[in-house]
Structure 1
Amino acid sequence: MLRRQLIAATAAGLAVPAALRAQPAWRPERPVTLIVPWAAGGSTDQMARIVAAELEAPLGQRVVVVNQPGASGSIGTRNALEAPKDGLTWAAGAAVDVGCYKVLGLLDTQLADWNLFFAVANVNVLVANPQSGFRDFGAALEALKTRGQGIGIATAGVSSAGHNMMEALRAATQLQYRHATYDGGNPAMIATVSGETQLGAVLLVEAAEMIRARRLVPLAVQAENPVTLAAQGNVAAIEIPSVRRWLPNIPAPLNYFGIWSPKGVPANVVQTMTTLWTNTIANSQRLKDYANSRAALFTPLSGQAAHDEAWKMVRQTAWLYFDGGKAQVSPETLGIARL
């Protein structure tokens, strides 16, 4: 069912509106900058570098990935928002971040302010350092309920996917935890591997290789069903249980990742990128292989379909922040209705 919905959304999202088709093609005269507002090696960085490489040939220009981490991704995103609106500066990341920055008081922007182009959808995973003693999610859950303030959990910071997962768990169970923030999913994952923290809440794409190497123990994914990490080399496939085995009603919306430019860039920039999403990104074997190897979903969406799909997680997450006392602005005042 999920894949059928994604196929329908993809078809709608890759349709080029008639008003855009009338525009002359965009051919950038200088290299295009793609700002990754997180540290190198994380989920956004992984995706962005593949997308950049795929776009260079059809654009006829280099697409330079620049890491600008800080303030939960809002610094790099702000730089893209405030850059000249000529199509030469883009941002990358998770759409839910852009949709919730204003709620958190981090950046005065919302999802509707951007031209959205998605490549993959990721799932969150709770992982444990092998020396922590945690071997399944149930044991970790009980520990967090009874002595959570003494248990460090590494995430990529406030508004990150891992933090969102922990806030969803806290709202469902009233557990507590000591939040250890890092400048990206990769540093958070490394902190858990090294033993700086007992647990890490990150994206599965970030933890996949360390799970295969048995440097991390996967406890549960925030997904409707168990997720299988594909076999690789002499490492067998690994099935990771869904958190819904223990918490049947916890939300599990898809977390869409991609690139975006602010509204106000020339129409032919949007037209050209929409066409490239249809002809290049939607047929990218590199992105398909990346998604398959790291248990992500390949979701080449753009336009209104991208906005509508991402909006589901924005609504859930914005109110999660509000109910948890972390919002600076009420989602209701921003037109974000409670689910």
Structure 2
Amino acid sequence: MIRDILRASVVLGLSASALMADGWKPDRPINIIVPWSAGGSTDQVTRVVAPILAEELGVSVVVVNQPGASGSLGTKSALDAPRDGYTWTANAIANNATYAVTGMLENTSIDDYEVYLHVANVPLVSVNPGSGYDDFGALLEAMRGQDVTVGTAGVNSSGGMALAAIQEAAGGEFGARMVSYDGGNPAVIAAVSGEVVATTQLAVEQTEMAKAGNLRPLAVLSDTNLVVEGLDPVPPITNWLPNMEIAPDYFGVFIPKGAPEEVYQTVNEIWERRIMTSPELQEYASSRGAVFAPSYGEEAIKRAMPVVIAEACARVHRGEAVLDPSEIGISCE
């Protein structure tokens, strides 16, 4: 039996090696455009994944930060680049899938990419420790009637969409005012410095500041506690807004379609063999408050559709859509 197991292991190893031998062999660096500033959630996790990809592909994988317009500027650069497999992008999948709905990018949808997901993130509502707010209930009451400033990376960012979702779930008058920055990290720093009262950016962008006592987490946009080593458990927002709909916010790397098929076949193999078992990515997720959830292809699309539908249809309900989601294959019925 041991001999059979060893023989099977050798065959599997040879199969993987044969696939790589026949697969894509890039001959120059690959750029991954992160359409947000350095230090934010997309930037963080892309810099964990990029060295693994570089090791497998045998060339440098360069993370290029190109922030602006809620991530649409850098995303457009990736879509406009030659479709030769050397320019990728990274983001929350709901962004790439819904830029056309908000009018930030025309004639684009998630069908323009091969999708490679790695983690799911959750937004976190935190305040400056000097703000006077000790629990989310008090902050929510203030948000309903006062000019509470909330730092986000823009209307189409995870933080911006989280704030809009809170407003929709709360109903009635809502006085919270969003202040936009070029990425999650600047938005979090604004809350730390007291430039804004609160932030609704992702937990992975906030946990280090929270551990240092520079932010006070009040609620996580989830239906369960957020548990991160070094922090007290953060209660779910459903404690205060029980009817709020929650969908995991998946992040990943996206390769525009149109490159040689061997590009995608090679990355598929690397994703399954290395990223889906990566201890580096698992450590990042557990230490920062993310969920380790790699997938690719049709499975990735299937997992991510709930958040894609939720974000697209929320734009319609709030009157922010300039394109009916059904025109890009998203049904709100």
Same fold (TM over 0.5): yes
Instruction: Please state if 1:144 is matched with 2:143.
Output: yes
Once residues 235 and 61 of structure 2 are traced to their aligned partners in structure 1, the CA distance between those partners, rounded to angstroms, is 38
3-state SS in 2 of match to 1:153: strand
| Structure 2: runs of 5+ lacking an equivalent | 1-18
- Residue in structure 1 matched with residue 4 of structure 2 by the alignment: none
Q: How many residues align?
A: 312
Instruction: Name the residue aligned to 2:25.
Output: 27
Which residue number in structure 2 is paired with residue 80 of structure 1?
78
For 2:327 and 2:78, the matched residues in 1 are separated by 25
TM-fit CA distance, 1:52: 0.6
Provide the C-alpha distance between the structure 1 equivalents of 2:91 and 2:229, rounded to a whole number of angstroms: 24
Partner of 1:207: 206
**What is residue 268 of structure 1 aligned with on the other side?**
262
1:179 Cα offset (Å): 1.0
Relative to the length of structure 2, the TM-score reads: 0.91
> Based on CA coordinates, which of the two structures has the bigger radius of gyration?
2
For residues 299-318 of structure 1, what are the alpha-carbon distances to aligned partners after superposition, in whole Å with 9 as ceiling and x for unaligned? 11100011111111111111
Matches within 5 A, 1:5-84: 24-84=22-82
Q: Counterpart in 1 of 2:327?
A: 333
Which structure 1 residue ranges, 5 or more long, are not aligned? 1-20, 232-236
Say if 2:99 and 2:105, in contact at 8 Å, map to a contact too: yes
1:160-179 equivalent positions in 2, closer than 5 A = 160-174=157-171, 175-179=174-178
Could you tell me how far 1:93 is from its partner in structure 2? 0.9
Distance 1:103 1:293 in 2: 34
Q: Name the CA distance, whole Å, in 2 between partners of 1:23 and 1:311.
A: 34
Q: Read off the aligned partner of 1:168 and give its amino acid letter.
A: A
Give the AA of the match of 1:199: A
Secondary structure at 1:227's aligned position in 2? Answer: coil
Q: Distance in 2 between matches of 1:336 and 1:265?
A: 25
Taking structure 1 as the reference length, the TM-score comes to 0.90
Q: Specify which of 84, 90, 93 is matched with residue 92 of structure 1.
A: 90
| Structure 1 position 180 matched with structure 2 position 160 | no
Deviation at 1:42, TM superposition (A): 0.4
Deviation of the 1:269 alpha carbon: 0.5
TM-superposition CA deviations, 1:227-264 (whole Å, max 9, x none):
11113xxxxx4200000001111111111111011111
Q: Is the 8 A contact 1:81 1:261 kept in 2?
A: no
1:334 deviation in Å? 2.9
Mapping 1:92-241, distance limit 5 Å:
92-108=90-106, 109-147=108-146, 150-174=147-171, 175-231=174-230, 237-241=231-235
Residue-by-residue CA offset, 1:105-151 (whole Å, 9 max, x unaligned): 0012111211000111100101100111111110011111111xx11
Residues 158-217 of structure 1 show CA distances to partners (whole Å, capped at 9, x for unaligned) of 111111111111111133321100011000000000001001110000000011111001
For the Cα contact (< 8 Å) 2:68–2:182, is it kept in 1? yes
| Residues 120 and 290 in structure 2, CA contact (< 8 A), matched pair in contact too | yes
Native 8 Å contact 1:112 1:307 kept in 2:
no
> Aligned with 2:175: secondary structure?
coil
Change in 2 beyond 3 A, CA 1:276/1:104: same
**How far apart are residue 152 of structure 1 and its match?**
0.7
How far has the Cα of 1:338 moved from its partner? 1.6
Identity between Structure 1 and Structure 2 (%)? 43
Contact 2:126-2:217 within 8 A present in 1 as well: yes
Aligned partner of 1:212: which letter?
K
Q: Supply the RMSD in Å over aligned alpha carbons.
A: 1.4
